[in-house]
Chain A
Amino acid sequence: MTSRARVLLAGKYLLLTAGAIIMLSPLIWMVLASFKTLPEILSFPPTLLPEQVDLRNYRAVFETIDFVRYFLNSVIVAVLTVGSVLITSSLAGYAFAKFSFPGRDALFIVVLATLMIPFQVRVIPLYVLASDLQLLNTYGGLVLPTLVDAFGVFLMRQYLQSIPNELMESARVDGAGEIRIFVQIVLPLAKPALSALTIFTLVVSWESFLWPLLVACSTDMYTLPLGLAQFAGRFLDRTELQMAASTLTVLPLLIAFLFMQRRFIEGMATTGMK
């Protein structure tokens, strides 16, 4: 390596490391502030580390709001949404990829076209519908708009097209039924696409805010983002409590991400259409 190239590379590392510090600093600041007292956060010059690390802010969060309940609500909503999206997408994607039937191409175009409909066009009638069906303030209401995902259908169709037809055909010759073929042959082969779709749907569901805000009327149906927004809005000048609650909210998905980074990044990149 020439000395010029070496200097360039060193400069690159320097820039990238500075960038990494900038990217992480809001989160580091959040965690540190969650252990501080309010005067410490507001002190000038600002302090980096908390004087004394204890869990009083976290205890205050748990004593003020039912954080566990919000967390469980988010988990229930995520499980129902992911489950429904996986089932509907893999079934429909398989039909579009491996069967020929009248109306297939037209139907597929209609499904793709729904990708372009933004949520806020649907939100008012969906609210009226949820209200008519007595679904306001229920889990059914919370998951109603996200039970099916056109992008999931598209993704599964693209992926399943690569499965050789001979696999299904020989199973049929052996006398296997269509449902058995789907469950025992197609689904196991679709695992990479299913895992990408799971992660993507999970992140979107965990983040969802506008719809739960409209549908969850009482606090016992609040999901995590909603509970946090309500809590932080009530204690707007108590930054230390806000940061403890924010840390608790960020943590679950962050831990999942750190354990499965590659899958997360690939899942979000391949399914990024949203």
Chain B
Amino acid sequence: MIPLVAHRTQGPRRAQRVKGLGVKGRQTLWAYLFLSPALALFAVTVMYPMVRALQYSFFNWPLGGDKTFIGLQNYRRLLFEDPAFREAVGNTLYFTFFSVAPTLALALVVAIMLNGPLLRARGAFRTIYFVPVVTSLVAVGFVWRAMLEPSFGVINTVIRWFGLPGPGWLADPDWAMNGIVLMAVWRDFGFYMVIFLAGLQAIPREITDAAIVDGASAWQRFRSITLPLLNPSILLAAVIGVINGLQLFTQVYVMTGSAQQLPGGPLNSTRSAVLYIVQQTFRPLEMGYGSAAAFLLFVLIMIVTLIQFQVLQRKFEY
């Protein structure tokens, strides 16, 4: 397995000096040679774009036109004068919360069930639950779009078997985002479950056995052993989920666009922040405003991630 704790490396010691360069010099030379492809690509595809994006965000820049420096105007407009941006961020937060929280809870419950000592066929269940993770998001987006169709779709047909009225899902502004959430729960569940299962299997059996001997109930064992020891996995899963959730784009694009309606509808109810950035940048071809919006989203991701580290790490201290 991969050691998670870094131990200090001792460089190769060599007694003899080679061609004028000391051992240290030789090491440094080789290290930078080995690093150079990665560093060069980082510089071009990560660092440079990052710096440029910050720069663009201070300009009014129609592509092909002249750049005009406008200071913080883009940010001021986004934060105070653009209800569409605020709505897109709100939609994104809604999606993120409702696609991550229930999925994590469900994945945790199922992982605990699968981890039970008497259960056979654990591998088969794990494989089946994992299958949606390796399906193409665009493909299953169209599958769910068809299944969520309000009058003929299978999902509303099943709901009507129980005598309930099926909602309008993607056709109804109040329900559209829930349809996208539903697919996310289905598709990501197996991924989190695998993370939790790996975490559970790392908990030594003796601890649980000792608690059983001491007469701890199943709930007590869950509260005082499983949850605290699983905390790193929960934090990892929550951070991954939120970072992915806040970058919602493909599902919305695939599930809500049509010849009559731009993606993000109905009535902008599913327009996500990234979709907003793309639409603001590439339809009017305006690089500055979209870059500012992207930076604001970046700040939001950082803040939410930091909050998660604070809250989740404190909550389960033992």
Contact = CB atoms under 8 A, between A and B. Distances in A.
A88 B37 contact: yes
Contacts of B113: 12, 15-16
A79 to B, nearest CB: 17
Contacts of A53: none
Contacts, number: 302
A87 interface: yes
Contact of B131 (A23, A159, A178, A256): A23
B97 interface: no
A219 interface: no
Contact of A9 (B13, B118, B258, B302): B118
A210 B135 contact: no
B142 A148 contact: no
Given A42-B152, A95-B35, A121 B294 contact: yes
A190 B110 CA distance: 33
Q: When A and B form their complex, which 4 residue pairs have the shortest distance between CB atoms, in order from nearest? A: A92-B38, A125-B52, A125-B49, A148-B41
B34 interface: yes
Given A117-B50, A155-B2, 6 more contacts: A46-B157, A88-B38, A150-B42, A162-B2, A249-B139, A261-B130
A209 B254 CA distance: 10
Which range holds the interface residue count of chain B? 35 or more
B283 to A, nearest CB: 12
B37 A122 contact: no
Given A122-B49, A209-B138, A159 B128 contact: no
Interface in B169-190: 186, 189-190
Contacts of A1: 118
A49 interface: no
A138 interface: no
Contact of A120 (B11, B240, B247, B254): B247
A272 B236 contact: yes
Contacts of A129: 44, 48-49, 52
Given A124-B281, A182-B34, A114 B42 contact: yes
B146 interface: yes
Given A101-B27, A120-B274, A206-B136, A92 B249 contact: no
A161 B6 contact: yes
B45 A122 contact: yes
Contacts of A87: 37
Interface in A12-32: 12-13, 15-16, 19-20, 22-24, 26-27, 29-30
B290 A27 contact: no
B34 A122 contact: no
A160 B122 CA distance: 31
12 contacts: A26-B140, A26-B147, A26-B186, A94-B34, A99-B31, A100-B31, A158-B2, A226-B138, A233-B259, A245-B139, A261-B130, A268-B133
A207 B9 contact: no
Nearest to A226: B138
B219 interface: no
A147 B45 contact: yes
B146 A124 contact: no
A76 interface: no
B106 to A, nearest CB: 9
A124 B11 contact: no
A55 B155 CA distance: 26
Contact of A254 (B63, B126, B131, B301): B131
Interface in A129-176: 129, 144-145, 147-148, 150, 153, 155, 158-159, 161-162, 165, 168-169, 172
A131 to B, nearest CB: 8
A98 B9 contact: yes
Contacts of A229: 138, 253-254
A225 B139 CA distance: 7
A269 interface: yes
A172 B15 CA distance: 11
B32 interface: yes
The residue among B56, B137, B143, B147 with the most chain A CB atoms within 10 A of its own CB is B143
B222 interface: no
Nearest to A178: B30
Interface in A231-259: 232-233, 236, 239, 242-243, 245-247, 249-250, 253-254, 256-258
B210 interface: no
B287 interface: yes
A224 interface: yes
Interface stretch (B77-85, B191-199, B309-317): B191-199
A126 interface: yes
Given A87-B37, A118-B298, A210 B250 contact: yes
Interface string A193-234: 100000000010011011001100000000011101100110
Nearest to A261: B127
Contacts of A265: 126-127, 130, 194
Contacts of B157: 44-46
B134 A203 contact: yes
Given A29-B154, A207-B136, A209-B138, A272 B240 contact: yes
B35 to A, nearest CB: 5
Given A27-B135, A44-B152, A121 B2 contact: no
A118 B243 contact: yes
A125 B46 contact: no
